[in-house]
Chains A and B, each alone.
Chain A
């Protein structure tokens, strides 16, 4: 019945054009990371891995990767420790102010990063957190809590309620039930959530921008490199980040779908 029509063609054509718009810039980065030339001009004359070797001998850049990984791991861990029990409590019990907590926890991702950033910059010193990498980690924990709580709440909702009941019936204490029954069942969701958190922390700029002192994180190091001028080294590091974060996100999406 449905055959070729100009309207269908037009919709398909514009949809694909938009998809191209979304992926063309990423393709450009990947492609030009193999460009031997110093300027990213069209057409590429020679291909080489030169910028990757420059990248791996750039001490500053490698150090920023280390800084970013450290911050990502620490803040993800703290966010999990704070977030999972909170999500569990919010799932299990009804209490006053639950809706409010729900709203507040999402604030760092719903409100503009700039305001969150300057707010933290102004207030952190009052609670003894100097503007430093520690402050950056604390800032990251705060927005990662939003991810952990929402992801885990969604997972708890899909959890079989009889599972917990059965554990209680068999005489398990609430903590034993949590650690021996609930936790193993949400393992894949936790791993998925960890991957999301790591990627988000590794990429975060607005909050980090205001809280950082001393060593740069990876995105801020790239930012500094960009301000100094365009260097194709950024193409190479961007390509690597793109590959790693895409792999992590796809894996995370897959894990979150599992029962």
Chain B
């Protein structure tokens, strides 16, 4: 099959190659020397710039995932249970931003949060503040806002799908038994939708770990995500063995997250065994 050959040459081999490259060494002039050494990994683990940034990025990713879930829950809930007409249209409304160019969506925050941007000038116009708020843009704050904005649809879709799969009879049963809307949500809807929530959150987590554009475009001088380090190691610093090692560490972390999420999803998916 031509597909298999193509994928081998242009995808599998490249992945294997950075794995191999992560065991290469660099000499004092920054030249890559083939070999088998754990030097890059040692450097990655001994320098807080690398290992520390990996954990900081993970923290940011968790934060982004949590905010995305909190934003997605009411939106998905409302469309799944409250909207009666034009449901497909509403669903398309969530999915559509996914397809809008990443650079455009990031750029939008640049003109919204900028020093002379829409938000700051609006605040001054409305006399909420009398001088521009500086930390809106080029900060970790703006980077997080942008990531939340870009990733919310990714999270909202699986949550919506999970809500839709809940048999309406279960909700009615809960109400008939005297549960209020909040109790019904907490004891029936939420547990049943948990696999969808976990899978949505995982999307946000994994995609944030791999994102280098938001910090690059909207981050400040101190905003450093692990992907930016990889990008630098392959660019200006030109230390490919170390870059590969950090890349492999990111991949391993992502595989770990996905594996944990898959187990959690399985554990909490009560719907299939009970309802069908």
- Using a CB–CB distance below 8 Å, which chain A residues touch chain B? 5, 7-8, 11-12, 14-16, 18-19, 21-26, 28-29, 32, 39-43, 81-83, 85-86, 89, 101, 104-105, 107-108, 110-116, 118-124, 126-127, 138-139, 141-142, 145, 149, 199, 202-203, 205-206, 209-210, 219, 222-223, 226, 230, 234-235, 238, 241-242, 245-246, 249-250, 253
Give Cα distance in the complex from A23 to B74, angstroms. 16
In the complex, chain B residues whose CB is within 8 Å of the CB of A253: 92
Question: Do residues B6 and A112 form an inter-chain contact, with CB atoms below 8 A?
Answer: no
- Our pick among A81, A114, A139, A202 for the contact of B10 (Cβ within 8 Å) is A139
Give Cα distance in the complex from A21 to B74, angstroms. 13
B59 to chain A, nearest CB (A): 17
State which residues 6-28 of B face A: CB under 8 Å.
6-7, 9-15, 17-18, 21
- Using a CB–CB distance below 8 Å, which chain B residues touch chain A? 1-4, 6-7, 9-15, 17-18, 21, 71-72, 74-75, 77-79, 82, 92-94, 96-97, 99-105, 107-112, 114, 116-119, 121-122, 125, 149, 152-153, 181-182, 206-207, 209-213, 217, 227, 230-231, 234, 240, 243-244, 247, 250-251, 254
Question: Do residues A124 and B96 form an inter-chain contact, with CB atoms below 8 A?
Answer: no
Question: Do residues A122 and B107 form an inter-chain contact, with CB atoms below 8 A?
Answer: no
- Our pick among A118, A123, A127 for the contact of B247 (Cβ within 8 Å) is A118
In the complex, chain A residues whose CB is within 8 Å of the CB of B15: 107, 115-116, 119
Which residue of chain A has the shortest Cβ distance to B104 in the bound complex?
A238
Interface class of chain B by DSSP: helix
Give Cα distance in the complex from A206 to B149, angstroms. 18
In the complex, chain B residues whose CB is within 8 Å of the CB of A223: 103, 217
Take A41-B121, A115-B210, A205-B213 as given contacts and tell me if A28 and B18 are in contact as well, using a CB distance cutoff of 8 Å. no
Question: Do residues B112 and A246 form an inter-chain contact, with CB atoms below 8 A?
Answer: no
Take A114-B210, A114-B212, A126-B17 as given contacts and tell me if A104 and B247 are in contact as well, using a CB distance cutoff of 8 Å. no
Give Cα distance in the complex from A242 to B105, angstroms. 10
Which residue of chain B has the shortest Cβ distance to A27 in the bound complex?
B108
In the complex, chain A residues whose CB is within 8 Å of the CB of B209: 112
Question: Do residues A25 and B108 form an inter-chain contact, with CB atoms below 8 A?
Answer: yes
Give Cα distance in the complex from A49 to B187, angstroms. 55
- Our pick among B10, B118, B243 for the contact of A42 (Cβ within 8 Å) is B118
Which residue of chain A has the shortest Cβ distance to B225 in the bound complex?
A114
Question: Do residues A141 and B10 form an inter-chain contact, with CB atoms below 8 A?
Answer: yes
A252 to chain B, nearest CB (A): 9
Question: Do residues A246 and B99 form an inter-chain contact, with CB atoms below 8 A?
Answer: yes
Take A25-B149, A199-B99, A210-B234 as given contacts and tell me if A142 and B104 are in contact as well, using a CB distance cutoff of 8 Å. no
Question: Do residues A43 and B93 form an inter-chain contact, with CB atoms below 8 A?
Answer: no
Question: Do residues B82 and A11 form an inter-chain contact, with CB atoms below 8 A?
Answer: yes
Question: Do residues B2 and A123 form an inter-chain contact, with CB atoms below 8 A?
Answer: no
- Our pick among A7, A21, A40 for the contact of B111 (Cβ within 8 Å) is A40
Take A15-B78, A101-B7, A115-B251 as given contacts and tell me if A250 and B92 are in contact as well, using a CB distance cutoff of 8 Å. yes
Give Cα distance in the complex from A227 to B71, angstroms. 30
Question: Do residues A114 and B230 form an inter-chain contact, with CB atoms below 8 A?
Answer: yes
Question: Do residues B213 and A206 form an inter-chain contact, with CB atoms below 8 A?
Answer: yes
Take A118-B247, A234-B107 as given contacts and tell me if A12 and B78 are in contact as well, using a CB distance cutoff of 8 Å. yes
Question: Do residues B230 and A118 form an inter-chain contact, with CB atoms below 8 A?
Answer: yes
Question: Do residues A122 and B12 form an inter-chain contact, with CB atoms below 8 A?
Answer: no
Take A41-B117, A43-B125 as given contacts and tell me if A219 and B212 are in contact as well, using a CB distance cutoff of 8 Å. no
A3 to chain B, nearest CB (A): 13
